[in-house]
A and B are shown apart, each in its own frame.
Chain A
Amino acid sequence: MSRVGYPRVPTCALRAGVLARPAEGHAEPAGSIAGVNDSPARLPLRTAAAVRLGNMSSKLSQKMGLGAGGMIGGRIALKLDPQALAHLTDGRHVAVVTGTNGKTTSTMMLARATGALGEVATNHSGANMPDGHVTALSKQPDAPYAVLECDEGYFPAVAGASSPEVAVLLNLSRDQLDRVGEVRTIERSLRDAINALENCTIVANCDDVMVTSAAKDAKTVIWVATGTGWHQDSASCPRCGDPIRWEGEHWHCTGCDLQRPKPDWLTVDNALVTPEGVKVELALRLPGKFNQANAVMATAAAHTMGVPVDEAVRRLRGVSNVSGRYRTIERNGRKARLLLSKNPAGWSETLTVVKEADHPAVLVINAQEADGRDLSWLWDVPFERLQGRTVIASGERATDLAVRLTYAEVEHSIVPDPLKAVDAMPQGDVEVIANYTAFRDLNARAAENE
Chain B
Amino acid sequence: MSESTVQIALVLPDLLGTYGDFGNAVVLEKRMNWRGIKAEIVPVMFGEPVPDSCDIYVVGGGEDTAQTLAVKHLREHPGLQRAVTKNAVVLGVCAGIQIFGESFTRADQITHPGMGLIDSTSHAGGSRAIGEVLATPANNLFEGVLTGFENHQGRTVLGPAAQPLAHVKVGTGNDGSVEGAVQGRIVCTYLHGPVLPRNPQLADLLIEWATGAKPAPLDLPAVTQLRNERQRAAS
Contact = CB atoms under 8 A, between A and B. Distances in A.
B132 to A, nearest CB: 9
Q: Of B15, B29, B43, B46, which is in contact with the most chain A CB atoms at under 10 Å from its CB? A: B46
Contacts of A406: 220, 222-223
Contacts of A180: 18-19, 63, 151
A399 B69 CA distance: 35
B27 to A, nearest CB: 6
Is the interface on chain B under 10, 10 to 19, 20 to 34, or 35 or more residues?
35 or more
A318 interface: no
B226 A400 contact: yes
Interface stretch (A163-171, A190-198, A284-292, A374-382): A374-382
B30 to A, nearest CB: 5
B40 interface: yes
Contact of A403 (B15, B17, B226): B226
Contacts of B223: 403, 406
Nearest to A240: B65
B125 interface: no
The binding surface of chain B is classed by DSSP as: mixed
B226 A184 contact: no
Q: Of A3, A177, A404, A407, which is in contact with the most chain B CB atoms at under 10 Å from its CB? A: A407
B222 A379 contact: no
Contact of B197 (A177, A235, A404, A409): A404
Is the interface on chain A under 10, 10 to 19, 20 to 34, or 35 or more residues?
20 to 34
A178 interface: yes
Interface of B: 10, 13-15, 17-23, 25-27, 29-30, 40-41, 43, 46-47, 63-66, 68-69, 130-131, 149, 151, 192-194, 197-198, 220, 222-223, 225-226, 229
Interface of A: 1, 3-5, 174, 177-178, 180-181, 184, 232, 235-236, 241-243, 373-380, 399-400, 402-407, 409, 414
11 contacts: A1-B40, A177-B19, A236-B66, A236-B69, A241-B68, A376-B21, A376-B192, A380-B22, A399-B229, A403-B226, A407-B27
Given A5-B10, A376-B23, A409-B30, 7 more contacts: A181-B63, A378-B20, A379-B21, A380-B22, A399-B225, A403-B197, A414-B222
